[in-house]
Chain A
Amino acid sequence: MTRPYISWGRYPYKTQEGVDLHWLDQPLPVSSNFLPQGNARSYGDSCMNDGGQVLSTRFLRRFIRFDPESGILRCEAGVQLADILSVVEPQGWFLPVTPGTKFVTVGGAIANDVHGKNHHSAGTFGRHVLKFELVRSDGSKRVCSPTKNSDWFRATVGGLGLTGFISWAEIQLKKVPNSAINLENIKYESLTEFFQISEDSESTHEYTVAWVDCQATGAKLGRGHFSRGNHAKATQPTPEMSGRKLGIPIDPPVSLINSWSLRAFNWLYYHRQGSKRNFTTVNYDPFFYPLDNIGDWNRIYGPKGFLQYQCVVPMEHSESAIKELLERIVKAQCGSFLAVLKVFGDIESPALMSFPRPGTTLALDFPYQGNKTMHLFDQLDNVVKQAGGALYPAKDAHMKAEHFKAYYPDFDQFVSFKDPNISSSFWRRTMEPNL
């Protein structure tokens, strides 16, 4: 347990006092400047509160009720998706939506209205939340659902923890015949091909995502591997989860991710599959959580930390905007080894301020290299803004105030639900930059 309460990207480095809540009936600690926090798996500063307190749910990790008939689960806000899977997966249930790590809490999944590889078929996490309890700093408690206190429900889902403290939540799980995934991996050669495969897969595959080779240029720009899958049939054997766990035991003095290692990695990763198409049945764990088996993988970026850049651009400009973004990244020689591309669907989220919207999302990791990184981000921002896109607060450490307001036009409605004693580094950066 080193450095709790610091966000996953380890940039920017913020100092704050961590306070833990251990029991549901405990009153919130009296403080005029705090921020609820889950497992601090957000990348930037949306889960941090420089100079103030963070009120962590890491010890509120108990299940309250589970009905194996209906698949309705109620738990404390600090229960992690990994905890849920270990309990419900053997009983034939699965998470309705899951992000790329299972080490996020239920409270955090609600506050960021997270999405996953099935966004086009299931929407965001918030759509599967039946109710939760919201505790405000004035001591008031509200049970919120899509029908009861629905205005509070809409503001709190995707509300970045700013509307109050989510103490427990109830979610609807999904029945699956088999947790394993019948996976088809397609090596594609261009962005045009990516969009074609994506369109073809929309109604046939529950899960879709692509990994992009960020070093490829010219006609090969945007080439990569398209993964699409469905849950296996009940009669198929479920492959075992790999027991092997790796870890990054120390902080390397400099980032291990640099232009040489990136070039080599991207080339090898693209060429790892010889054939155009490859069919396998895989355990759900490596399919949904490829990095979870490497403990503390954020350490490979060294002590300066790293940033994520995740944007979404509307469908009508998707191909040109993604092309432009990739070109600028290649030109800046800043490439990323975890570049992920996915087309979102049009299933609406109940949230007032949700990131996913119809269009194409691109997510990349960059080691923090000072001005070089920020200069590239400014260029990417211009492309996203012009295309009418948006950035994802959970991954963000640089978004400009005017951009946040443009990307989340309902922010003015949201402000009336914000708890006066709750704030975050992200909120102050984007909403109160002049204070």
Chain B
Amino acid sequence: MIRVVLPAHLRILARAAGEVQLDVAGQATQRSVLDALEDCYPMLRGTIRDQVTGQRRPFVRFFACEEDLSHKAPDVPLPAAVASGAEPFLIVGAIAGGRGKRKAD
């Protein structure tokens, strides 16, 4: 069982209270965790990673075990403590940036 902490906006969107708990088939990686997350919560498709390229959205970060895992390849195994459920996998909206272009003013 993998524990995932969503940022507040996505928690509201998914109507998920608190942590999300996922059963992930096979090895726990960013890709397998996000696949399982999107299977359980299809409304999150496209909000964390691009639906076409599969790339992490630029202002989304992945943290776990006090490490920034954002730049790890999607198929690199997650830390054992995440895979065992001892530590959560944190999906974070970056504090910096994020504002889109203004609506034509």
Q: Do A and B come from one complex?
A: no
Query: Measuring CB to CB, which residues of chain A are less than 8 angstroms from any residue of chain B?
Result: none
Query: Measuring CB to CB, which residues of chain B are less than 8 angstroms from any residue of chain A?
Result: none
